[in-house]
A = this chain, B = another copy of it.
């Protein structure tokens, strides 16, 4: 890849290039990148969702092993995931990128290639943002908007005693991927003459870490088939943290079966190689960007039939019972549900 310093072409020319890369397709975006603010047509019978978060290099992502296009895709996924977790579909995204001088024009474009790919994948428009300089660490900020039909929103606050606790996909994969990437980087640092690490055996977990997909497929099915969770949250900070948050906001407790947690073979292999417990990956590993939701018991059968890629891992209980995890051994581990 060439390295054209950003100062060679200037900030505005670079923004113009990004604008050309990200032409918007949806009719709702009246004005996208390039003005003070984006202009979005409003829709009746829907409410707007909006969410934002900021990621810092060295804390939230690592450029030494994260290809820029994958990072661009992942940042959009993080924004979109918050919209999906409310039962809505994403519509617009904005990206603020604050880069250090080690970033070239080509690197910024590489990043936006991933952003564009994600926008196509999630059927949303990049409508704006900002490009500024940073010192020390690259900073990524994503804002996502979405629409949800009036009455179809799923918050964190309304889980009911007796609800089945469901998760989509599998748990702990992104953490397993991170463990592999960190190990390979360490090996490579200690053996600089070694060839590029072979990640073929760990493809799934590494892909989940570098370029996870938010579960728009399942939220779209929920909308089409009128499957409405009583409560929903996305799994960005790990299953246990998110379950605690959902229980606190719903003033509820939970009973979870460790044996029910969905864990892939590859995640188990990683845990075993690392001498760690796969169930700990599943309970605590962040960034899976799957969904955790609760369903009234009589809605579970239909949900299984339609959504397929879900697992029931426990049940919502009264707040007084706290959060309890029944371990493989039958022993029950009690967790304080308070923040």
Report which A residues bind B (CB closer than 8 A). 10, 12-13, 16, 30-31, 34-44, 46-56, 58-60, 81-83, 85-86, 88, 92, 94, 96, 98, 127-130, 132-137, 139, 141, 143-148, 153, 155-157, 232-234, 245, 248-249, 339
The answer to whether B44 and A42 touch across the interface, beta carbons within 8 angstroms, is yes
Given A59-B134, A130-B53, CB of A36 within 8 Å of CB of B141? no
Q: Which residues of B contact A31 (CB under 8 A)?
A: 153, 155
The answer to whether B39 and A42 touch across the interface, beta carbons within 8 angstroms, is no
Q: Which residues of B contact A141 (CB under 8 A)?
A: 52, 54, 96, 141
Q: Which residues of B contact A41 (CB under 8 A)?
A: 47-48
Q: A36-B156, A38-B49, A42-B42 are in contact. List 16 more A-B contacts (CB 8 A).
A: A36-B86, A36-B233, A37-B51, A37-B85, A38-B51, A39-B49, A50-B50, A52-B129, A53-B132, A56-B134, A56-B135, A58-B135, A59-B135, A94-B143, A135-B136, A136-B137
Q: Which residues of B contact A153 (CB under 8 A)?
A: 30-31, 39
How many copies of this kind of chain does the complex include? 2
Q: Which residues of B contact A85 (CB under 8 A)?
A: 36-37
Minimum CB–CB distance from A70 to chain B (whole Å) comes to 21
Closest to A97 in B: B54
Q: Which residues of B contact A155 (CB under 8 A)?
A: 31, 35
- Give the docked Cα–Cα distance between A156 and B12 (Å): 14
Which among B44, B135, B146 is the interface contact of A44 at CB below 8 angstroms? B44
- Give the docked Cα–Cα distance between A331 and B189 (Å): 61
- Give the docked Cα–Cα distance between A144 and B37 (Å): 9
Closest to A60 in B: B132
Closest to A9 in B: B339
- Give the docked Cα–Cα distance between A243 and B153 (Å): 43
Given A10-B339, A16-B339, CB of A50 within 8 Å of CB of B38? yes
Most chain-B Cβ atoms within 10 A of its Cβ — which of A12, A51, A86, A155? A51
Minimum CB–CB distance from A17 to chain B (whole Å) comes to 11
The answer to whether A13 and B44 touch across the interface, beta carbons within 8 angstroms, is no
Which among B39, B233, B339 is the interface contact of A48 at CB below 8 angstroms? B39
The answer to whether B145 and A50 touch across the interface, beta carbons within 8 angstroms, is yes
Which among B46, B92, B339 is the interface contact of A12 at CB below 8 angstroms? B339
The answer to whether A46 and B37 touch across the interface, beta carbons within 8 angstroms, is no
Which among B35, B54, B147 is the interface contact of A157 at CB below 8 angstroms? B35
The answer to whether B40 and A49 touch across the interface, beta carbons within 8 angstroms, is yes
The answer to whether A46 and B42 touch across the interface, beta carbons within 8 angstroms, is yes
The answer to whether B42 and A47 touch across the interface, beta carbons within 8 angstroms, is yes
The answer to whether B48 and A156 touch across the interface, beta carbons within 8 angstroms, is no
- Give the docked Cα–Cα distance between A40 and B144 (Å): 13
Given A36-B82, A36-B86, A86-B39, CB of A50 within 8 Å of CB of B143? yes
Minimum CB–CB distance from A100 to chain B (whole Å) comes to 10
